Amino acid sequence: MPGFELFGDLERKEVHNVLDSGVLMRYGFDGMRNGHWKSKELETELQKAFQSKHVQLVSSGTAAVSVALAAAGVGAGDEVIMPTFTFVASFEAIMMLGAIPVLVDIDDTLTLNPEAVENAITPKTKAIMVVQMCGSMGHMGALQAICNNHKLLLVEDACQAIGGSYKGKPLGSIGDLGCFSFDFVKTITCGEGGAVITNNQEFYTNADHYSDHGHDHNGNDRGAETHPFLGYNFRISELHAAVGLAQVKRLPEFLDIQKRNYTILRNALSQILEVTFRTIPEGGEESYAFLNFFLPDLEIARQVSDEFKANGIDACFHYFDNNWHYIRKWDHLKDLKSLFPISTEVKQGLEYLQTKTFQKSDHYIGRNISCLIKLSWTEDEVKARALKMVEIIQNSI
């Protein structure tokens, strides 16, 4: 991760096909295409990769979350339970629909704590959104059981976890709907792009129409299509899909490299008694996009993070003080700093953020270091990096 590190001839070929035809839009202009339908081809490849019946490409991972929720009928005043550790897009996508993000604690999987989820359910709860952060998963069996017991939607934001699996099923394919991002720093990239996956025909049809202004996509004349319901523009372009089409064909290659580099680093850090690793639920396999480990306390984690930066160990994140990925620094959410008026329902629904604390999340995120696994590292570079990381950690404890 990320796939852009290994751009090559296959990506160039697919993009040139689009430029040669001159059709950059995914819909219409059938006669000009010279047989090239990159978005459709990518959706077919993703169906195979995700073992899912339906895939709808969209313009981003953020769009994927909004489209997935809208396709399942989530909207004004509905509550969506989500974790304190994620990217800001998670709550943005919920609020865009007029729904209310209900943040709850994580556990040592770095994803939703099932007990916290259970305690947060109210009559307004419509969906539980597990965010498979940093390449791994939550306790999916427990979360599925909660959703089944309360008749709630289980939505997977698997934007950072392509290639991971749980009990043989790809992450993203386990819930009612799965969401992926193909932005510039994901394991496979389109530059910008995303996907909604589902085995539910109704949800897929809704996502297909909703993401293209409500077009029903019946027939061969785009101008004659009807609009069964309101929609918006979350379309991907053929250029972006072309890059992704090349990248998804290389996914096994990328995952092999990630696993090799991850394993070298993990084996080295395993020698340090004070280092522990995130919990991977039984039956789960990471995508190996990140190596996540815990240090004894917050101050040591801060010191190690600073020493990593000072010694050229890049791409290692201490999210406790991060502006983008953890609740502590989301002041724009807590203070509702919006360019447009926010509904009274959402304002009232988010009042809890003024007083609620997340001590369990602090306990895990404060001690966690998350290291991105690059595809461009040589084996010798990874080994040298591992030795330096071990030295820094041992000197800091």
- The pLDDT assigned to 275 comes to 98
Average pLDDT over residues 168-173: 98
Residue-level length of the chain: 397
Beta strands 153-157 and 276-277 are: unpaired
Cα–Cα dist 222/23, whole Å:
15
pTM for this model (two decimals): 0.97
Query: What b-and-e string marks burial along 327-366, b requiring 16 or more CB atoms within 10 Å of the CB?
Result: bbbbeebeeeeeeeeeeeebeebbeebeeeebebbbbbbb
Domains and CATH numbers, the chain: 3-250 (3.40.640.10), 252-396 (3.90.1150.10)
Average pLDDT over residues 355-361: 97
Residue 83 gets which letter from DSSP?
E
Closest CA to 229 of 262, 207, 256: 207
- Phi and psi at 287, nearest 5°, equal -85, -10
Q: What's the Cα-to-Cα distance from 313 to each of 240, 308, 345, 367, 373, rounded to whole Å?
A: 31, 5, 45, 18, 12
Give the dihedral of Cα atoms 118, 124, 129, 130; nearest 10 deg: -10
- DSSP β-bridge partners for residue 179: 157, 196
With bands split at pLDDT 50, 70 and 90, how would you rate the model's confidence at 233?
very high
Cα–Cα dist 108/382, whole Å:
26
Whole-number percent of the chain with pLDDT over 90: 99
Instruction: Provide CB contacts within 8 A for 325, sequence distance 6+.
Output: 85, 86, 87, 88, 317, 319
pLDDT of 19-52, one tens digit each?
999 999 999 999 999 999 999 999 999 999 999 9
- The pLDDT assigned to 91 comes to 98
| DSSP secondary structure, 46-60, as one string | HHHHHT-SEEEEES-
- The pLDDT assigned to 62 comes to 98
Cα–Cα dist 47/54, whole Å:
6
Catalytic annotation, pick one of 40, 126, 167, 186: 186
> Is 309 part of the annotated catalytic residue set?
no
Centre a 10 Å sphere on the Cβ of residue 264 and count the other Cβ atoms it contains: 19
pLDDT of 185-212, one tens digit each?
999 999 999 999 999 999 999 999 999 9
With bands split at pLDDT 50, 70 and 90, how would you rate the model's confidence at 112?
very high
Centre a 10 Å sphere on the Cβ of residue 383 and count the other Cβ atoms it contains: 15
